[in-house]
Amino acid sequence: MTSRGKHPTERTRVRRIPKRGAYDRTTIHAILDEGLVCHVGFVHQGQPFVIPTLYARDGGRLLLHGSAASRMLNALADGVDACVTVTLADGIVVARSVFHSSMNYRSVVMLGTLRAIEEPAAKMKALHALVEHLIPKRWNDSRGPNETEMKATSILEMSLDEASAKVRTGGPIDEEEDYALPYWAGVLPFATGVGKPVRDPKLKRGVKVPKYVSRYRRPR
């Protein structure tokens, strides 16, 4: 996948309103970097599952982590096909007709299989990427994982080779004859923000809120 764009595969081609599809690395990476939660779809023993989980992008791969006892991670590590999605909701599009009301959004769909990261240094590097995606600068301002904690944690990686984005922006698109109707139309944008940090009651006296917490913002 290059920054100039990539042709979609048959599996990732956006078929419903294809003009909203995007396959370039810049668009896909920006959406993944802003998001925090992905949904992982897979089939285990004949039963479909869709599980929400934290993730991180590290270069051209997606990282997932969780308990070594996780049914989802163990199933994915066995090489089952997976579909991973990330969606950012930007606003409600209020049209004059119910039919044309919609949402402004940015989403990414990723297809493929996942591989467990076993080598200790590579696993630690992946865990570092996961922590930094959630709260940048936190890794060096917290206790790192010990050997027992590393053994209790599984980290999987997935290539972003088969990924596509879909984006809707702008206002409502009504039928021409509906523009004369006396109904309000427009966009209700979603404003995302971060509240004031809440102190842990057991926090050691004198420990101040670090700037990377008090000034926390998601990339956009």
Q: What is the reported pLDDT for 12?
A: 77
The DSSP symbol for 149 reads H
Q: What is the reported pLDDT for 6?
A: 65
φ/ψ region of 167 (left if φ > 0, alpha if ψ in -120 to 50, else beta) reads beta
Contact 39, 84 (CB under 8 A): yes
Among residues 165, 2, 152, the alpha carbon closest in space to that of 86 is found at 165
Task: Please name each of the domains of the chain with its CATH number.
Answer: 18-174+186-214 (2.30.110.10)
Contact 53, 35 (CB under 8 A): no
Kindly give the parts of the chain with pLDDT less than 50. 1-5
Query: What is the average pLDDT score of the chain?
Result: 93
Coil, strand, or helix at residue 115?
strand
Q: Which long-range contacts (CB under 8 A, 24 or more apart) does 179-188 make?
A: 179/96, 181/96, 183/96, 184/94, 185/94, 185/95, 185/96, 186/94, 187/91, 187/92, 187/93, 187/94, 187/104, 188/91, 188/92, 188/94
The DSSP symbol for 42 reads E
Q: What is the reported pLDDT for 23?
A: 86
Among residues 25, 21, 28, the alpha carbon closest in space to that of 6 is found at 25
Q: What is the reported pLDDT for 2?
A: 38
Q: What is the reported pLDDT for 142?
A: 97
Coil, strand, or helix at residue 188?
strand
Q: What is the reported pLDDT for 1?
A: 39
74: number of Cβ within 10 Å: 16
Residue environment code for 199-211, b if the CB has 16+ CB neighbours within 10 A, otherwise e: eeeeeeeeeeeee
